[in-house]
Amino acid sequence: MRIPPFYHNPVWQRFLTGIVLGSIISWVVFLFIYGSLQENQTKLIRQQEDEIRDLKENIKIWQEEFKALNKKNEQKLTVQDIKVQLVNGHKYKLDSFSIFEIEEKIKEDVSIMIAKDLDTVYKSRDLFKKMIENKVIKVNDKRYRLEVKEIVVYTSLLIQLVIHLDG
């Protein structure tokens, strides 16, 4: 079996030469386009890396400043209001005015805590709890003792009280 000698024919030689030259030219064009696209992608990635690095540095700076401001503001937090609630005043058939008077007496006793920072108030909560519980209040010719049910210390000092008959 013999392969026909088409490579001697000038038409086939031009055809094969065209295929070879076309493939070389298309390969060069492909490499040029691919290279320029990769170069653009590399530039974009470098720009994004630089931007990410800058943003991370900015975030770090902002977080440090934010932490410093939080510490500074935390030191400035003070008690600005005192709220006293008598939980079971109606159990002993006390009228609203009597409950109000009891709450106001306790507010007056604890009013020294206004404008104190939260840390000081929190540390001395046991002291004014004992101060309230040791106090005997006289209302309508009856003596009552107070028990502190709950104390919430924040910019508003909330004290919930339970009243008991003394004796």
Q: Which pLDDT value is given to residue 7?
A: 64
Residue 152 CA to residue 154 CA, distance in Å, equals 6
Mean pLDDT, residues 121-144 taken together: 89
* pLDDT tens for each residue of 75-106: 678 888 999 999 988 888 888 888 999 999 99
Q: Which pLDDT value is given to residue 159?
A: 94
Sign of CA dihedral 43, 44, 48, 51: positive
Q: Structural domain boundaries of the chain?
A: 6-75, 81-165
Mean pLDDT, residues 120-125 taken together: 89
Mean pLDDT, residues 108-119 taken together: 86
pLDDT bracket for residue 3 (50, 70, 90): low
Mean pLDDT, residues 133-157 taken together: 90
Q: What average pLDDT does the structure give for the chain?
A: 89
Q: Which pLDDT value is given to residue 1?
A: 54
* pLDDT tens for each residue of 28-57: 999 999 999 999 999 999 999 999 999 999
What 8-state DSSP symbol labels residue 113?
G
Q: Which pLDDT value is given to residue 128?
A: 86
Q: In this prediction, what percent of the chain has a pLDDT beyond 90?
A: 50
Residues 6 or more apart in contact with residue 70 via CB below 8 angstroms: none
Contact 104, 139 (CB under 8 A): no
Contact 135, 109 (CB under 8 A): yes
Q: Which pLDDT value is given to residue 4?
A: 67
Position 139 pLDDT exceeds 80: yes
Q: What is the pTM of this model?
A: 0.58
Relative orientation angle of helices 125-133 and 96-110, to the nearest 10 degrees? 140
